[in-house]
């Protein structure tokens, strides 16, 4: 008895009710081996400890001479902050100071550079950036290399 239903596969009685004794290679049998669903043994083996399961922490491989990302972040947090200070001078034009600040300091916008330049012009000095000591020394050296007067000092008291 076959049912003729459009857009559906016709089902015979043999395929709807498989026999208990399946023969290897029989297409009407549902059970062909020990375990039909291969996802179950794979899921069990993935959850085993030390086999790269979901709960295992990934091992970060570092090459000699390079620091891991965790060490770099920890080092940044541990080092005390330093201020890079720009001093006013009567030698450089304001536009040049803005250009140098944007070139030397990463992420410096035109608006921030103009504000820093103006503060240094009016008050005599201005804080350019607060960063680690090594970065502050690099920025200070770069600013001086471009003809600007700058210095660094420890940023104490959270100011």
Domains of the chain (ranges, CATH numbers): 82-154 (3.30.1390.10)
- Output the pLDDT for position 79: 77
Asked whether the predicted pLDDT for residue 95 surpasses 70, the reply is yes
Mean pLDDT along residues 33-49? 52
- Output the pLDDT for position 100: 96
Q: How confident is the model at residue 159 (pLDDT cuts 50, 70, 90)?
A: very low
pLDDT tens digits for range 61-74: 656 667 676 666 66
- List all residues 6 or more positions away from 60 whose beta carbon is below 8 Å from its beta carbon: 68, 69, 70
State the DSSP code for 31. Answer: -
In the chain, the percentage of residues whose pLDDT exceeds 70 is 50
Task: Count Cβ atoms below 10 Å from residue 13 Cβ, excluding itself.
Answer: 8
Asked whether the predicted pLDDT for residue 59 surpasses 50, the reply is yes
95 alpha carbon, distance to own chain's centre: 35
Distance CA 36, CA 130 (A): 63
- Output the pLDDT for position 156: 81
- Output the pLDDT for position 67: 66
In the chain, the percentage of residues whose pLDDT exceeds 90 is 45
Tokens of 67: 């620091």
CB-count exposure of residue 151 (10 Å: 0-12, 13-18, 19+): middle
State the DSSP code for 109. Answer: -
Q: Does an H or E element contain 87, and which?
A: strand 82-87
Q: How confident is the model at residue 133 (pLDDT cuts 50, 70, 90)?
A: very high
Task: Count Cβ atoms below 10 Å from residue 100 Cβ, excluding itself.
Answer: 22
């Amino acid at each position: 008895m076959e049912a003729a239903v459009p857009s559906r596969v016709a089902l015979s009685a043999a395929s709807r009710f498989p026999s208990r004794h399946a023969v290897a290679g029989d297409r009407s049998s549902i059970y062909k081996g020990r375990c039909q669903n291969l996802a179950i043994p794979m899921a069990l083996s993935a959850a085993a400890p030390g086999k790269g399961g979901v709960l295992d922490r990934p091992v970060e491989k570092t090459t000699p001479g390079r620091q891991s990302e965790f060490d770099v972040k920890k080092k940044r947090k541990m080092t005390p902050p330093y201020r890079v200070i720009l001093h006013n001078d009567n030698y450089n034009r304001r536009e040049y100071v803005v250009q140098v600040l944007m070139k030397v300091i990463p992420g410096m916008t035109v608006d921030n550079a103009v504000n820093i330049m103006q503060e240094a012009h009016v008050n005599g000095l201005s804080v350019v950036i607060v960063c680690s000591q090594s970065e502050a020394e690099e920025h200070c050296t770069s600013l001086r290399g471009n003809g600007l007067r700058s210095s660094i000092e420890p940023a104490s008291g959270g100011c």
